[in-house]
Amino acid sequence: MNLSARATYIGGPTALIEIGGLRLLTDPTFDAAGSVYETAVYTLRKTMGPAIPIDGIGPIDAVLLSHDHHFDNLDHAGHVALTRATRVFAPAAAVERLGGATTGLAPWQSAELEGPDGRLRVMGTPARHGPPGGDRGPVTGFLITDAGLPRAADVPPIYVSGDTVWYEGVEEVARRADVRVAFLNMGAARVAEVGPAHLTFTAEEGVEVARAMPRAMIVPLPA
């Protein structure tokens, strides 16, 4: 039995991945266009709303949350998605802040999800949210595989990068897994107040990922 996967792009870093009867939501951002987020050092303004509102998403088996401390990856309505999800996977540092159904995943640590068509394994992967010594972490990526050993080929590895740049941690993901679908947070995000360095994949870095994962379908998320 081969399981088919379906992805629906919602906006920013947010996508709904449906596989094995399970519905996985990446970095939930559902606030309306024009929303403003004030921090101590900068102000973010949302320019485009979600393609699907939070009330139109339906059941959520798990949220794959790369990090909880930036509004462009978890906004106010996104917190509603967390309360509706059966499970939330996030960096270990987020567990105390989020509580509830949150499971912290360190790199290469995994947990399982039981679905109507079998079990999926969700594994944390290395991520670095910016340049060496200037990243805005902690963040995590995710690797989704089949947890039913007799059917290990049913779900080819799916990689969800989270907010990261190209560095040796992403290379390690490519070495460890024969990734077939890679959701990459692209757009070379920058915040002038914290410096000129990019905080997510540039186009050139996306090409590097594609070279390192030659059998993967690349799905860019303009995070």
Q: What confidence score (pLDDT) does residue 22 get?
A: 94
Identify the bridge partners of residue 104 per DSSP, sorted by sequence position: 90
pLDDT band at 195 (very low <50, low <70, confident <90, very high): confident
Q: Where are the beta strands (DSSP E) in 69-180?
A: 85-90, 102-104, 110-115, 118-125, 141-146, 158-160
Q: What confidence score (pLDDT) does residue 181 get?
A: 96
Q: Mean pLDDT, the chain, as a whole number?
A: 92
- Residues 182-205 have a mean pLDDT of 93
Q: What confidence score (pLDDT) does residue 101 get?
A: 85
pLDDT tens digits, one per residue of 34-45: 999 998 888 889
- 221 in Cβ contact with 184 (< 8 Å): yes
Q: Tokens representing 3? A: 């399981």
Please give the full DSSP string across 24-93, using - where no structure is assigned.
Answer: EEES---PPTT-EEE-SS-EEE--S--SS-GGGS--EEEEE-S-SS-TTTS-HHHHHHHHHEEEEEE-GG
How far is the C-alpha of 200 from the C-alpha of 60, rounded, in Å? Answer: 26
Q: What confidence score (pLDDT) does residue 154 get?
A: 63
pLDDT tens digits, one per residue of 147-174: 764 444 467 899 999 999 999 999 999 9
pLDDT tens digits, one per residue of 111-123: 999 888 878 999 9
Whole-number percent of the chain with pLDDT over 70: 96
Report pTM. 0.94
Q: What confidence score (pLDDT) does residue 1 get?
A: 37
Q: What confidence score (pLDDT) does residue 137 get?
A: 80
The pairing of strands 60-64 and 85-90 is parallel
**Residues 6 or more apart from 211 whose CB is under 8 A from it?**
none
Q: What confidence score (pLDDT) does residue 118 get?
A: 79
The domains found in the chain, sorted by start residue, are 5-222 (3.60.15.10)
Q: What confidence score (pLDDT) does residue 100 get?
A: 81
pLDDT tens digits, one per residue of 79-120: 999 999 999 999 999 999 998 889 999 999 999 998 888 789
Q: What confidence score (pLDDT) does residue 115 get?
A: 86
Residue 56 has pLDDT above 90, yes or no: yes
pLDDT tens digits, one per residue of 199-220: 999 999 999 999 999 999 999 9
Q: What confidence score (pLDDT) does residue 41 get?
A: 84
